[in-house]
Every structure is written in structure tokens, then in C-alpha cells.
């Protein structure tokens, strides 16, 4: 029940390791952060409280929460000269590319992160990364839409400050509704960690060479970008939008998905571990309904998603392969209702996953027995070849 799979040192080529952070039971659709069921955390915790739990392994009391929140506020601004980097991207910058580059560049302004000496250094680095990833994300959005970068405010909480930096302008202050704040907190909580997924394994791999926390998180951002992983939340909306705009019958679309030749996948469906409902998808689906109703928003893409899910759950192709909605199938509906642009969807996933990456980096960093990960391979190439001079080739 401790949720780890024993194996030899570090990473072997089956890609497993020992960890205390997150437990998943794919058959039963169970997800727990540090032993607490995701349903209880999503219902009761803000993202900052969930981040504290994932990183430090305990529910924070009021003083610990206030101290952590203060540290995040203090570390929200970027170094003034770092803002100049954004000018180089202009409107062509892909927010995920900017995020990965800028997170890595943070070490230029926080050299002590390179060689953390004690727990205080680690807490500072974690708080700085969780706080600044939000500032960088909002700044990358402003850069791509050609608006001035908006500075964080000291008086705002984590999610409110992010929304301020995303949607305020020098001429107007953005005031989020309670529904938007609650929905975005829940979205980030549900993405906070997820065992040894592709990007978290990447973070552990990079951490095992003794690379610093920021460099490891930057690698995690790059791995998350792929359409089969964090990039799926963009691919889901593109799929739903295409079906809606072209008036494609969901059953016809499903037949294309089942035709292997088409190469189509039902984005937002399937999971390597969950062979039952992804508990996050269940929570996000309910939250999407709740939010649209409270905000009096009609999103036709939700209707398309519901129809696709209905068809899939009755189709042997999906049932036999145990393909169910995953975290990405409904999350985009919530981001759309908040007003987050599509090119920022995977960035939102990265902001949410930052605590999990930090917790996993810390596990490798603090493990006295940790060795550099060095998966092996099955060599399938030619052997014993003889080199020949160029005029004889």
C-alpha cells in the first residue's frame, strides 16, 4: 500500500523507482497524494496547500501555510534583466518553449539554487520555482499577444495573482469571480503530481546526474509538451472543435479512430496506468458542468465531449482496451470558461505539476543511495564491421 515498485538501483530499463509522494491504483481508479485521497484534497485544499503537502509530505497548519504563502509572494517578481529575454520572442514564442527556457534561466539570478546547502535553501528554491513559474507563464502570454508584461502584486493570493498577471492591463484591473478562482485552484490541485509519468520520470532522470532543481524542472516542461502527454489537453480541444465546426457525427469520428490506418486517436482517452476511470477526469467533468452552470456559459464543445464519451463507453473497441477519459478530456472546458487561450493549456498543466516535479527532484537529491539513472538497451545493430577508406566505399 506504500505505492512503490521495488527494483534495482535508480532506474532500470523498466522505468520504475521507489517514492513516497503519490500512489495510484489503476484498476480501482485510486489516486492519493502522500496518502490523502485526491477527492478530499480537490474538495478542501487550495493549490498552495496541495503543493505544500506534495513537496513537504504533510498538511500545513495555519502558520506553515502563511509562511509558505509569504515566501511565494516575496518570490513572485522576476529579475528586471530577465524581462528583457521576453523581447526576443515577440509574438512567435511558443509559451511552452519560453517556459522551459526561462525556468532554466532562473539559475542565472538565483545561483544558490545550483548548490542548495540545507533545508532552507531547498524551501527557498521550491517556493521560488512555484511562484516564478506562474509569473513567467503570464509574461509569455503577454509577450505572444503583444501586451505589456504585468507585474505580480504582493496583496494577491497565488491563483488570483496569476489571473491578474494574465488578464489585467495597464488600463484595467482584472477581478476574477469566486467560481473562476475555485475552478483554477482545483485544476492545479488535480495536476499537482501523478507518480512516474513521462515528465516526472524525466525530472528524476535529470536530477540523478545532480543537476539543479530548475534545470530538472525545465526538462520536465519539455517532456510534458508532447501531444501524448501534457500536450493532449490542447489536442482534445482541437479534436472537439473540428468535430463541432465540421458537423462530424461522433459515431463516424469513432469509426475513424478504430481504423488503425487513420492513425487517429481519441485524444483525452486512455492511460498507461488507469484501466478504469481516471479519478481526476470524474472530478473535472463535474467541475466543468458546475462552472458553466454558475457562469451561465454554454460551451458546445462540452456537448461534443459528452457524446464522444457516451459512444466510446458503449463501443467494444474502447471497452476491450479499457480506454476511459483521462485528466485531459474535460480539463480544457474549464480552461476555456476561465478564458485561458489554447496555446497556454499545457502551460497550465506545467504550473500544476511543478510541486510534483519538485517533490520527485527532492527525493532523488536527498537519497544518499541515489545513483545516476542509466537504463540499458537491447542492441539490434550490426557488429564487427571493418572501416574502409572513402575511395573504396
Q: How far apart are CA 70 and CA 382, in angstroms?
A: 59
Nearest approach in angstroms of CB 319 to ligand SDX is 11
Nearest approach in angstroms of CB 370 to ligand SDX is 22
Q: How far apart are CA 219 and CA 225, in angstroms?
A: 10
Select 165 or 257, whichever has its Cβ closest to ligand SDX. 257
Grid look-up 517556493 returns: 127
Nearest approach in angstroms of CB 323 to ligand SDX is 5
337: closest CA among 185, 179, 189, 186? 179
Residues with Cβ within 8 Å of 67's Cβ and at least 6 positions away in sequence, in order, are none
Select 69 or 190, whichever has its Cβ closest to ligand SDX. 190
Contact 133, 102 (CB under 8 A): no
Q: How far apart are CA 24 and CA 273, in angstroms?
A: 8
Q: Which three cell numbers stand for residue 277?
A: 476511470
With CB atoms as reference, the residue minimizing the distance to ligand SDX is: 270
Q: How far is CA 217 from the centre of its chain?
A: 11
Select 212 or 233, whichever has its Cβ closest to ligand SDX. 233
Q: How far apart are CA 204 and CA 360, in angstroms?
A: 6
Distances from the Cα of 250 to the Cαs of 242, 253, 310, 357, in angstroms?
11, 5, 10, 37
Select 28 or 272, whichever has its Cβ closest to ligand SDX. 272
Q: How far apart are CA 196 and CA 81, in angstroms?
A: 36
Q: Is 328 a catalytic residue?
A: yes
The catalytically annotated residue of 194, 271, 299, 365 is: 271
Nearest approach in angstroms of CB 267 to ligand SDX is 5
Q: Is 229 a catalytic residue?
A: no
Select 95 or 352, whichever has its Cβ closest to ligand SDX. 352
204: closest CA among 3, 17, 77, 28? 17
Binding site for ligand SDX (CB under 6 A): 194, 197, 228-229, 232, 257, 265-273, 321, 323, 326-328
348: closest CA among 91, 83, 78, 159? 159
Select 271 or 336, whichever has its Cβ closest to ligand SDX. 271
Q: Which three cell numbers stand for residue 58?
A: 504533510
Nearest approach in angstroms of CB 390 to ligand SDX is 43
Nearest approach in angstroms of CB 291 to ligand SDX is 21
Select 157 or 275, whichever has its Cβ closest to ligand SDX. 275
Nearest approach in angstroms of CB 324 to ligand SDX is 10
Nearest approach in angstroms of CB 9 to ligand SDX is 23
Select 51 or 323, whichever has its Cβ closest to ligand SDX. 323
- Please list, residue by residue across 47-57, b when 16 or more beta carbons sit within 10 angstroms of its beta carbon and e when fewer do: bbbbbbbbbbe
Catalytic residue ranges: 271, 328
Amino acid at each position: 500500500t506504500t505505492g512503490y515498485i521495488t527494483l534495482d538501483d535508480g532506474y532500470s530499463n523498466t522505468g520504475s523507482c521507489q517514492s513516497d509522494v503519490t500512489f495510484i491504483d489503476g484498476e480501482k481508479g485510486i489516486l492519493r497524494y502522500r496518502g490523502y485521497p485526491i477527492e478530499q484534497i480537490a474538495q478542501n485544499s487550495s493549490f498552495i496547500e496541495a503543493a505544500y503537502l506534495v513537496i513537504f509530505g504533510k498538511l500545513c497548519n495555519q502558520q506553515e501555510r502563511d509562511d509558505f504563502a509569504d515566501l511565494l509572494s516575496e518570490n513572485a517578481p522576476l529579475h528586471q534583466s530577465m524581462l528583457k529575454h521576453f523581447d526576443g520572442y515577440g509574438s512567435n514564442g511558443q509559451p511552452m518553449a519560453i517556459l522551459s527556457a526561462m525556468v532554466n534561466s532562473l539559475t542565472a539570478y538565483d545561483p544558490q539554487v545550483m548548490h542548495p546547502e540545507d533545508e532552507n535553501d531547498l524551501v527557498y528554491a521550491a517556493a521560488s520555482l512555484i511562484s516564478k513559474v506562474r509569473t513567467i507563464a503570464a509574461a509569455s502570454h503577454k509577450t505572444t499577444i503583444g501586451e505589456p508584461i504585468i507585474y505580480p502584486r504582493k496583496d494577491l493570493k497565488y491563483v488570483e495573482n496569476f489571473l491578474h498577471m494574465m488578464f489585467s492591463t495597464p488600463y484595467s484591473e482584472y477581478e476574477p469571480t469566486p467560481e473562476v478562482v475555485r475552478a483554477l485552484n482545483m485544476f492545479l490541485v488535480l495536476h499537482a503530481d501523478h507518480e512516474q509519468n513521462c515528465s516526472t520520470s524525466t525530472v528524476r532522470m535529470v536530477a540523478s546526474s545532480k543537476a539543479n532543481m530548475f534545470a530538472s524542472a525545465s526538462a520536465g516542461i519539455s517532456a510534458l509538451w508532447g501531444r501524448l502527454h501534457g500536450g493532449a489537453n490542447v489536442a482534445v480541444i482541437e479534436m472537439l472543435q473540428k468535430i463541432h465546426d465540421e458537423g462530424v457525427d461522433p459515431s463516424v469520428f469513432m469509426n475513424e479512430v478504430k481504423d488503425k490506418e487513420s492513425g487517429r486517436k481519441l485524444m483525452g482517452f486512455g492511460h498507461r496506468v488507469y484501466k478504469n476511470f481516471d479519478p481526476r477526469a470524474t472530478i473535472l467533468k463535474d467541475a466543468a458542468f458546475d462552472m458553466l452552470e454558475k457562469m451561465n456559459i454554454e460551451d458546445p464543445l462540452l456537448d461534443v465531449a459528452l457524446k464522444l464519451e457516451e459512444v466510446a463507453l458503449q463501443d467494444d473497441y474502447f471497452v476491450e482496451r479499457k480506454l476511459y477519459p483521462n485528466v485531459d478530456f474535460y480539463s480544457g472546458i474549464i480552461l476555456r470558461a476561465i478564458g485561458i487561450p489554447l496555446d497556454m493549456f499545457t502551460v497550465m498543466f506545467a504550473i500544476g505539476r511543478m510541486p510534483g516535479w519538485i517533490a520527485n527532484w527532492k527525493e532523488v537529491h536527498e537519497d544518499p543511495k541515489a545513483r545516476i539513472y542509466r537504463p540499458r538497451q537491447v542492441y539490434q545493430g550490426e557488429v564487427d564491421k571493418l572501416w574502409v577508406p572513402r575511395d573504396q566505399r
